[in-house]
Amino acid sequence: MTEAIPLVPVIPVVSNPIYDPFPIKSKSNDTEYNINNVYNNEKDKEKDNINKVESSTKKKKTSPSLHASLRTVEQVLTEQNTDLEKGLSVQEADFRIKLHGPNILEPEDEETMIGKFMEQFKDPLIMLLMGSATISLLMGQFSDALSILLAIVIVLTVAFVQEYRSEKSLEALNQLVPNYCHVIRQGQLSSMLGNNLVPGDIVRFSIGDRIPADVRITQAVDLEIDESSLTGETKPCVKNTEVIISEASEVNLAERKNIGFMGTLVRNGYGVGIVIGTGKNTEFGTIFSMVNDVESKKTPLQEKMGELGKQISAFSIGIIIVIMIIGVIQGKNWLEMFNVGVSLAVAAIPEGLPICVTVTLALGVLRMAKRDAIVKKLPAVESLGSVNVICVDKTGTLTMNKMTVTKVYTAAQDELIDIEGKKNEDLPQSIHHNAIKILIRIGNLCNNAHISNGEHLGQPTEVALLEFGNLLNIRDERPLYPRISENAFNFEKKFMTVTCKGEMDKEIIFAKGAKEPIMQRCSSYYVSEDNIQPLTKEYREKISNISQEIASQGLRVLFMAMGTDMNNLAFVGFVAMYDPPRIGVGNAINTVMDSGVKIVMITGDSEGTAISIAQKLNIMNSVGNGYYMSGAELDELSENELRRVVPTISIFYRTTPKHKMAIVKALQANDLVVAMTGDGVNDAPALRLADIGISMGKSGTDVSKEAADMILVNDDFSTICNAIEEGKGIFYNIQNFLCFQLSTCIAALTLVTLSTLLNLPNPLNAMQILYINIICDGPVAQSLGVEAVDEDVMKQPPRNKNKSIIDKKFIYKVLLSSAIVLGSTLHIFHHTIEEHSNEITSYTTTMTFTGFVFCDIFNSLACRSSTKSIFKIGLFSNKAFIWAAGLSLLGTFIVVYVPFFQQIFQTEPLALHDILHLTLLSSFVLIFDEIRKFIVNKRNQKQIKAYEMV
């Protein structure tokens, strides 16, 4: 049980010298709650509404914010037993913090570091290696055991460090609770830690503040809150105090206009609210619980490597038992056969395989980091090659999460000018018309936003107007036109006006807002200072049609006018703005879709905006006709119905965190590998649930970054293309070195098995086998893991996650390679025995050992690509391979020619003609593989030509 945090001393609030956050009265936009305004008939309607909602939701727990949104302020005050003017007493607050706990989000008890480390031992290959090391220790073969244990330590350490660093997804949510907030207690306004808030507290907040807990708003003066990290809405939500009347069983988060959510940011105005939920009882707390409940999924590679480990274990143990039984039946000493079993175990187990997989993934992580993609979990790299659906969050991922002016229209020019994506030097000449300057002046003067040191303060639409002026190098004119009065924008009026002092102290009214309220007050239109034309009915209809067409494209249209009489303004023009797609994201999406990956856009934004962005980025054509669905429609579907319909949907709009998780689950239920991108807190549960969670590095919240498996440093969607390419390439590289290592192990195992069955001494001793498996094969196999990604890899469709690493083609190639290696080694063994009167000498084992190593080197050349000739990809294109193969050969010559190692490995020097003879024989494995690739490629080319003819 977490101890209650003691209350801090009351700290007086220092008033803001620029703007008083809590004036006593607002002239025009104060929607402060007044009990006298609540009529009995309204109360009856509200009660009916509450009963309807509660009856439909009584089976599921109602969140405090939903509950409070359906009630009047009076009802909430009564339920919370608090006073709007005085707040709670210190004693009552102290009692409630003991009852409800502090206003923080605490993760459940996590597994200890020791537990995380011990978890790594459950890997089948690790267990198999441990068994092999134990047998070696029992047999007194300490060098073998030491080598195997060293391999285990390397693998476990790398895996443990990566996993431990990734388990931080819940801690960052606490950073959303502001350190200090303004609270009324015992009738005094004070500043205190947000951790000490309790339900029933009365809090005040103004522009720049973060909401400290879920609150039922009781006063809202021009209050706009940025909830994009929670709901995905680009535009700040305009808040009010009115009770919500709804017959729906669930009121969407974005529709709870009378609720302030913990962690959201006040963009404009100020307000007062009653705390209704703290800690885990907030909407952020719900997300916290979702993230906590989602278990980390194993990647396809982890699952397949686990299966492979079990298969190798079962196969090896079965063969070893059979051989030992046969030996005992033949009359051999059981201890001798046990020693043979250890040799077989060493031969059968690819000791370097776990190391190769881990290091290959780690090197892939480093390469991707250079391409601006940070991968937190090693296996996630390979999983990218299996992704066949990417669920993309619109706001901040596909778009800039910043309103931008894209089209401009002035009555003087009667021309719609498109400036989307253009820099100053690329703008059309018409944008420098004097009427445009007047339009910018209106947007500048009728504006309360500021841009200071690159930081945007104010409404996104007003910031966009200031940036539009900056684009044309027009300075801020507010100091030149002193403001006399302001009629602030609100949700009901939908327009804003300011009265400024112009030349000769003449008062001028500047207005901006929606089409209807502005055009109703216009009787003329501006052409020039000395040319004001009457606004005819025909011209009104023309302007209306143009603006409606633009609005249908998902753009927000802002009309502007000016004059000296509020009811006889002159229409100047309008600007259209929207949250534009990120640069290059369209090309990246096309590339991903061409590779067979489906794109699904999920957003909390409106239908029109979502469809507009989807059409611009060609997402609507990613499947079928590009169907779309709202969050409300999704709620009406059962899990099975959603699973059936989700493959046909390209766009989900008006969604919540729960919707995103439901969509990901439904896609996964269709046996699809799902990647999820996002940048907000609302994306965190889905990021964790998805097979691959991808967060934005610049615009992403700490919560989304910690929940994700991969972070895009530059917020560029095209980086995902690079990541998918790398993921596919890594899988094929893993498959190539797996083919190399398994063919080596099978050849060594068969060699020892045949010698045992034929009652012959082992051609290779345990030290030689271990040298081949770890010292020789390890570096060479690792170099295959860093082979350059094939340029044709993006043309390949996503790999089926259920498809085993070991398919028929793979088995065929492994068996063919191991058969040639075995045949060449047996030929060398048999030939050297005959040369020495059928006696096995150190020369015989040295020739066999060296021949096996040479076969391995040529086999590794053949395994650099499963389809392309070594001469096409280039003998020297992989420098790491050249170094690894060269060092392996050098090590072999040291073992053969250095006296100290001759005693350990039981070898003797070879003559030059022996080396040449071994080189010729061992090259057959490469020659045969080149012939195989030539035949397969010719067959594939014929099939492609036949398909094209059809």
Angle between helices 808-835 and 912-922 (to 10 degrees): 150
**393 an active-site residue?**
yes
Q: How far is CA 819 from the centre of its chain?
A: 45
CB 523 within 8 A of CB 568: yes
- What are the backbone dihedrals phi and psi of residue 235, each rounded to the nearest 5 degrees, phi first? -80, 135
Q: What Rg value do the Cα atoms of the chain yield, rounded? A: 36
The dihedral over CA atoms of 359, 374, 664, 721, expressed in degrees to the nearest 10, equals -90
Contact status, residue 242 vs residue 306, Cβ threshold 8 Å: no
507: left (phi over 0), alpha (psi -120 to 50) or beta: beta
Q: What is the per-residue DSSP string for 91-120?
A: HHHHHHHHHH--SS--PPPPPPHHHHHHHG
Query: Residue 131: exposed, middle, or buried by beta-carbon count in 10 A (0-12, 13-18, 19+)?
Result: middle
> Residue 2 phi/psi, 5° resolution?
-75, 130
What single letter denotes the amino acid at residue 620?
Answer: M
Please give the C-alpha separations between residue 555 and each of 228, 403, 405, 550, 551, in angstroms, as whole numbers.
Answer: 18, 10, 9, 6, 5
Supply 919's token pair: 């080189």
Query: Do residues 225 and 267 touch, judged by C-beta distance below 8 A?
Result: yes
User: Can you read off the two tokens belonging to residue 379?
Assistant: 């296996």
Nearest to 634 by CA among 659, 611, 612, 670: 659
Q: Report which of 195, 24, 35 is spatially closest to residue 101, judged by C-alpha positions.
A: 195
Q: CB atoms < 10 A from the CB of 678, how many?
A: 34
Q: How far apart are CA 940 and CA 26, in angstroms?
A: 78
Range 280-303 burial, b when 16+ CB lie within 10 A, else e? bbbbbbbbbebbbebeebebbbbb
Which alpha helices (DSSP H) does 446-574 contain, by range? 460-471, 515-520, 537-551
DSSP structure string for 467-478? HHHHHTTPPP-T
Encode burial over 593-626: b for 16+ CB neighbours within 10 A, e otherwise.
bebebbbbbbbbbbeebbbbbbebbebbebbeeb
CB neighbour class for 806 (10 Å; exposed up to 12, middle 13-18, buried from 19) = middle
Those residues with Cβ within 8 angstroms of residue 471's Cβ, 6 or more apart along the chain or in another chain: 405, 419, 423, 424, 427
Contact status, residue 739 vs residue 866, Cβ threshold 8 Å: yes
Q: Which of 144, 201, 214, 393 is catalytic?
A: 393
Provide the token pair at 588: 């990246």
| Dihedral class, residue 25 (left if φ above 0, else alpha if ψ from -120 to 50, else beta) | beta
Distance CA 730, CA 723 (A): 10
Give the C-alpha distances (Å, rounded to integers) separating 673 from 299, 669, 670: 9, 10, 9
Q: Which residues contact 782 (CB under 8 A, 6 or more apart)?
A: 352, 355, 356, 359, 360, 737, 880, 884
- Inter-axis angle of helices 657-669 and 283-293, to 10 degrees? 20
For residue 490, count other CB atoms closer than 10 A to its CB: 20
Element (H, E) at 215: strand 214-226
Report the catalytic residues.
393
